[in-house]
Structure 1
Amino acid sequence: MRADRLVSLVLLLRRHGRLTAEALARELEVSTRTVLRDIEALSAAGVPVYAERGRHGGFALLPGFRTELTGVSHDEALALLTGEPVFGLGPALTSAMRKVVDALPDDHRAKASDAARRFLVEPETDLLSRRTSIEELPAETMMEVRRAVLAGHRLRIHYAATGQEPRWRAVDPIGLVTVRERGYLLATRAGADRTYRLSRVRAAEKLPEPARRPPQVDLDRIWRERCAQFLSGDHIAVLARVRLSRREELLSSAVAVRAEEAGDDGWVRLEVTFQDLRHAVWALWQLGPDAEALTPPALRAALHDRAAAIAARYVNPPAADDG
């Protein structure tokens, strides 16, 4: 751990030129006393670090000094550039911190930067309404998917669509997206856009032939377009007032949340999407008087008719039992 910290300290000085002990301590998440001990250790090891006193003082390296760090793997570089421990890159991200910034060769850096553009982490547009449990994918399967995406090769996946038995299909991978700890493979199949949940991929195999896809990719734009297409299908958009204490219950049943506005009266206005009118009626009915559907009128009418039917059922005492 200390060796990693010493390397990080040198790279911080390389990048920023001069930093105070306090700034280094914040970056490294240690005490200033530890930073001073590390500075002494670097000096004793022959690293030309020196202190500058005064108002704008701090620690710096002699001009022209460059670290020679080796062993930066492709996965480490990719993990650092994507910035999140996703797509099976968690261990690589830990080992890559700051190391790649100073040491990656120019050609390697260019390749890793291009690869990183094919991963989109936590975009603003979301197919789901809430954070859910982390979905696990076997490491070998995830590695094969990732290899195909980065190499630009076609991919065979054994995929289990909702309500169907798993079957093999060949796709042209475009990129990987993670949203609220759910992973998606964006691809085309026979020229048609396809979005696959990674948790439903049972197995994967990178094929030798190249994928049919553009050389450049704007993954954020593609994801927004696919989300818009998903939400514009048979889904129903609902504007509702919900008591703040019941907000999570409504979100847990919605397909997506499009807008939210908190009020000062303990209520919140939500624009949410449901699968259809029946789904919306069921979700709002569960909340009773703690929620009110504002639009669409068809939803208000359906809730009114259901409430009226229930009220009529209970307006009189139950009929006497003749038996």
Structure 2
Amino acid sequence: MKSSRLVTILLLLQTRGRMTAAALARELEVSVRTVYRDVDALAAAGIPLYGDAGHRGGYRLLDGYRTRLTGLSSTEAEALFLTGIPGPAAELGLGRALSAAQLKLRAALPRELRAQADLMRSRFHLDAPGWYARNAEVPFLPRVADAVWRGRVVEVRYRRWKEPTDVERRLRPYGLVLKAGRWYVVAASDPERPPRTYRVDQILGLTVTDEECVPPAGFDLAAHWEQAREDFRARLYRGQAEVRLSPRGVTRLNADDAAAVAAGGGPDPERDGWTRAVLPVESPEHAVAAYLALGTDIEVLGPPELRTLIADTAAAVAAQYAVRSAGQR
């Protein structure tokens, strides 16, 4: 709607400063001609908006001009109250700040939007960690977050999984990521090297230095994280297994295996209702544990070594229970 677009232009110029018509058009996903018409409409409404020509030109608001207009729709107000997850905010040391911000936002909303936002909070609760995941202690998280925010190099004592386990590192933190209830800091040990991912709960000691650091030009935290996830999966899954799955077995797959079935075009049932699929394998040991958990809802067809390993493991389990049962008679 045009009225919503006009409010968006006004808020963009208020928060970002000078913007060209082309930049506004990209942000609003409209034509440049539409931006010209909208800017004319704002000027006609008395908004102190000016356009500068030239290479460094663009539209801007008169210095000092501010609007109290939020332009929030009912859906936007509801979404804002869903973004404040209290657990992570408290871990970052922002619990009270989040509560205060939500209180101020609620007070500023019109009565009808306030009622919608209250209803949203009463009907929806976001709990990020998995069911059986225990929240790890992250005593250094607020200080890591402060270093990220202020752009300061940190010196840490870090525990990793391989020997030597406890190491000293000097890191340039570029961003924090919360994934499945666990905090990670994306940081580089040297400005010339690509950043790596470190678990914040594995930091055993931390000193924030006065040395400034900034992310490399063009660094995008979200894009880096997505690429890091893909690289991790590529390193993690080094093999494949051909399997048959019962209809119930398909529904019991973990997320990565389910994604592999979906990527193959989705389940393609055979005459007996079972489905053939090729699943990623981290290692034979992990595959045995995962596939035995599915019981008779899965049959491993290959590679032969994995099929034999699962058969031998199942036979050993059966023999162990047979011996115990015989001893109890």
Give the TM-score normalised by the residue count of structure 2.
0.50
1:148 Cα offset (Å): 0.8
Partner residue in 2 for 1:135: 135
Match of 2:311 in 1: 307
- Alignment correspondent of 1:281: 288
Q: Is the 8 A contact 2:257 2:280 kept in 1?
A: yes
- Give me the whole-angstrom Cα distance separating, in 1, the residues matched to 2:81 and 2:308: 54
Are the structure 2 counterparts of residues 257 and 212 from structure 1 closer, same or farther at C-alpha, using a change threshold of 3 Å?
A: farther
Q: How many residues align?
A: 215
The structure richer in strand per residue is 1
2:196 partner letter? R
Q: Does 1:182 align with 2:182?
A: yes
- Alignment match of 1:203 (pick from 202, 205, 211): 205
In structure 2, what is the equivalent of residue 152 of structure 1?
151
The whole-number CA distance in structure 2 between the counterparts of 1:292 and 1:258 is: 19
Secondary structure at 1:169 match in 2: strand
Alignment counterpart, residue 97 of structure 1, candidates 98, 102, 107: 102
Q: Give the AA of the match of 2:221.
A: L
Check conservation: 1:80, 1:96, Cα contact below 8 A. no
3-state DSSP class of the match of 1:232? helix
Distance of 2:82 and 2:174 partners within structure 1: 18
For residues 244 and 220 of structure 1, the distance between their equivalents in structure 2, rounded to whole angstroms, comes to 36
Query: Deviation string for 1:223-243 (max 9, x for gaps)?
Result: 111011111115235565555
Indicate how the Cα distance of structure 1 residues 162 and 266 shifts in structure 2: closer, same or farther if over 3 A, else same: farther
Question: What is the aligned partner in structure 2 of residue 227 from structure 1?
Answer: 229
Q: CA deviation at 1:101?
A: 9.2
> What is the DSSP-based 3-state SS (H/G/I as helix, E as strand, rest coil) of the residue aligned with 1:137?
coil
**One-letter amino acid of the structure 1 residue matched with residue 289 of structure 2:** W
How far did residue 284 of structure 1 move?
Answer: 1.3
Distance 2:218 2:82 in 1: 17
Structure 2 spans left out of the alignment, 5+ residues: 1-65, 70-79, 109-125, 324-329
Partner of 1:70: none
Counterpart contact for 1:187–1:195, Cα < 8 Å: yes
Measured after TM superposition, the shift of residue 173 of structure 1 is: 0.8
Percent of matched pairs sharing the same residue: 25
Output the CA distance in 1 between the equivalents of 2:143 and 2:273: 49
User: Does the 8 Å contact 1:155/1:204 carry over to 2?
Assistant: yes
Q: How many Å apart are 1:172 and its aligned residue?
A: 1.1
1:92 aligned partner, one-letter code: A
Letter in 1 for 2:296: P
SS of 1:185's partner is strand
Q: In structure 1, what is the Cα distance between the partners aligned to 2:185 and 2:278? A: 27
Larger deviation: 87-96 or 270-279?
270-279
Cα deviation, 1:157-203, whole Å, max 9, x if unaligned, reads: 22111245333211111111111111111111231431111221223
The aligned counterpart of 1:11 is: none
Which has more helix, going by share of residues? 2
Match runs of 1:1-323 below 5 Å: 83-85=84-86, 86=88, 87-88=91-92, 89-97=94-102, 99=104, 132-139=132-139, 141-164=140-163, 165-190=165-190, 191-214=193-216, 217-235=219-237, 236-238=239-241, 242=245, 251=254, 258-259=259-260, 273-293=280-300, 297-298=302-303, 302-304=306-308, 306-307=310-311
CA offsets per residue over residues 118-140 of structure 1, 9 Å max, x none? xxx999xxxx9x6652533344x
The 1:291/1:83 distance shift into structure 2, 3 A limit, reads same
Q: 1:239 to 1:219 in 2, by over 3 A?
A: farther
Q: Distance in 2 between matches of 1:168 and 1:95?
A: 38
Between the aligned partners of 1:91 and 1:239, the Cα distance in structure 2 is: 52
Partners in 2 of 1:271 and 1:229 — Cα distance?
A: 20
User: RMSD between aligned alpha carbons?
Assistant: 4.8
Matched residues in 2 for 1:158 and 1:260: separation? 41
Secondary structure at the residue paired with 1:168? strand
Shift in Å at residue 308 of structure 1? 7.6
Residue identity matched to 2:307: L
In the alignment, the residues of structure 2 paired with residue 189 and residue 237 of structure 1 have an alpha-carbon distance, to the nearest angstrom, of: 34
- One-letter code aligned to 1:95: A
TM-score normalised by the chain length of structure 1: 0.50
Q: Deviations over 1:132-160 (max 9, x none)?
A: 52533344x11110011111111122211
Give distance in 2, aligned partners of 1:271 and 1:206.
48
Distance 1:200 1:256, change over 3 A: farther
Q: Distance in 2 between matches of 1:201 and 1:255?
A: 29
Question: Residues 269 and 213 from structure 1, CA distance in 2 versus in 1: closer, same or farther, beyond 3 angstroms?
Answer: farther
Select the structure with the greater relative contact order (CA < 8 A; seq sep ≥ 6). Answer: 1
User: In 2 relative to 1, CA 306–176 (structure 1 residues): closer, same or farther, beyond 3 Å?
Assistant: closer
| SS of 2:97 mapped into structure 1 | helix
How many Å apart are 1:288 and its aligned residue?
3.1
